């Protein structure tokens, strides 16, 4: 799809029913996100999500999916100690039905990503706002908005690609920087609050359906208004991503 310059649509997914609904509406990638800690468990952060949570929900999504690429987040504490620890948890996630795992962090995770990818586990890297590091970052804030931090994100992205990452998520990154990073890499990028020039876009399912509680992030759009049901709302999201209508200027940083 990227070689054909076709945008791809990603949504988080946590169960078999929605896996089928999202696939049938044209979603290309299902992300079993640790955001389940927020939208399913009701937590303020993703930090309490366990490997068992991720394995269970990966298995549920895999049962309902026939064709989409399934990526599963590795939860906090399951990969930071050592590459061997990361492999142990990643192997369980792959066995549950995922085709790829997602790891947060910059170049510090390069050795771990290389270790996994050399052993047959595809990895999606994640830079910018990394929710598992929310306390260290001082909250849910825009990243890469200074010359120094922008250079660091670009250098991180290049290092992660070199280490073997197959995809790169960028979250809450200025649109111009995300475009620069996308152009500098040969692997596809997925944006969430990172402007329109990434290879694909992702939103949390509950945000896209207008179900999340509390303050809505700037990069979120509710696709339920004007749709007669959930499948139509999802199809509208997919169409908006593929035609470049989403994200619009009001969703950028």
- CATH number of residue 72's parent domain: 3.20.20.60
- Averaged over 70-80, what is the pLDDT? 97
Range of the domain at 215: 8-251
Q: How far apart are CA 42 and CA 35, in angstroms?
A: 10
Q: How far apart are CA 88 and CA 81, in angstroms?
A: 12
Whether residue 24 has pLDDT greater than 90: yes
- Averaged over 25-39, what is the pLDDT? 97
Whether residue 164 has pLDDT greater than 90: yes
Q: How far apart are CA 206 and CA 203, in angstroms?
A: 8
Is there a domain that residue 145 lies in? yes
102 annotated as ligand-binding: yes
Whether residue 137 has pLDDT greater than 70: no
Smallest Cα–Cα separation from 51: which of 12, 99, 88? 88
Q: Residue 235 — very low, low, confident or very high, per pLDDT cuts 50/70/90?
A: very high
Average pLDDT value for the chain: 96
Q: Which residues are catalytic?
A: 171
Per the structure, the count of domains in the chain is 1
- Averaged over 131-136, what is the pLDDT? 78
Q: What is the pLDDT of residue 8?
A: 98
Q: Which of 89-103, 128-142, 198-212 has the lowest mean pLDDT?
A: 128-142
Chain Cα centroid distance, residue 57: 16
Cβ neighbours for 34, distance < 8 A, ≥ 6 positions apart: 46, 49, 53, 54, 73, 75, 76, 131, 132
Contact by Cβ (8 Å): 172, 141: yes
Token code pair at residue 63: 């049962």
137 against 183, higher pLDDT:
183
- Averaged over 149-154, what is the pLDDT? 97
Whether residue 157 has pLDDT greater than 90: yes
- Averaged over 47-70, what is the pLDDT? 97
Contact by Cβ (8 Å): 54, 84: no
In the chain, % of residues over pLDDT 90: 93
In the chain, % of residues over pLDDT 70: 98
Q: What is the pLDDT of residue 214?
A: 81
Q: What is the pLDDT of residue 225?
A: 97
C-alpha distances in angstroms, 242 versus 7, 148, 196? 5, 33, 10
Helices then strands, each counted (H, E), the chain: 10, 8
**Residues of 86-101 as b/e, b for ≥16 C-beta within 10 angstroms?**
bbebbebbbebbbbbb
Is there a domain that residue 113 lies in? yes
104 annotated as ligand-binding: yes
Is there a domain that residue 130 lies in? yes
35 annotated as ligand-binding: yes
Q: Residue 140 — very low, low, confident or very high, per pLDDT cuts 50/70/90?
A: confident
Number of residues in the chain: 253
- Averaged over 61-66, what is the pLDDT? 98
Q: Residue 65 — very low, low, confident or very high, per pLDDT cuts 50/70/90?
A: very high
**Tokens 């596809």 -> residue:** 188
**Tokens 């649509």 -> residue:** 9
Is there a domain that residue 3 lies in? no
Is there a domain that residue 2 lies in? no
- Averaged over 129-136, what is the pLDDT? 81
Is there a domain that residue 1 lies in? no
């Amino acid at each position: 799809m990227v070689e054909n310059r076709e945008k791809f649509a990603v949504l988080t997914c946590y169960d078999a029913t929605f896996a089928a609904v999202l696939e049938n509406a044209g979603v290309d990638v299902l992300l079993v996100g640790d955001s389940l800690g927020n939208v399913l468990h009701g937590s303020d952060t993703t930090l309490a999500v366990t490997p068992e949570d991720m394995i269970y929900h990966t298995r549920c999504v895999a049962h309902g999916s026939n064709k989409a690429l399934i990526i599963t987040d590795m939860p906090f504490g399951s990969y930071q100690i050592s590459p061997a620890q990361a492999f142990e948890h990643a192997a369980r996630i792959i066995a549950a039905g995922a085709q790829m795992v997602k790891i947060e962090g910059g170049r510090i995770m390069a050795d771990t990503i290389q270790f996994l990818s050399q052993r047959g586990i595809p990895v999606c890297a994640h830079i910018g706002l990394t929710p598992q590091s929310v306390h260290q970052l001082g909250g849910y804030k825009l990243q890469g908005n200074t010359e120094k931090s922008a250079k660091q994100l670009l250098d991180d992205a290049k290092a992660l690609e070199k280490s073997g990452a197959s995809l790169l998520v960028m979250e809450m990154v200025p649109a111009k920087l995300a475009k620069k990073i996308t152009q500098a890499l040969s692997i596809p990028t997925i944006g969430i609050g990172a402007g329109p020039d990434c290879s694909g876009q992702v939103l949390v399912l509950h945000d896209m359906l207008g179900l999340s509680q509390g303050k809505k992030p700037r990069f979120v759009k509710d696709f339920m208004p004007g749709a007669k049901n959930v499948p139509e709302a999802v199809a509208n999201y997919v169409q908006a991503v593929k035609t470049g209508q989403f994200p619009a200027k009001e969703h950028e940083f």
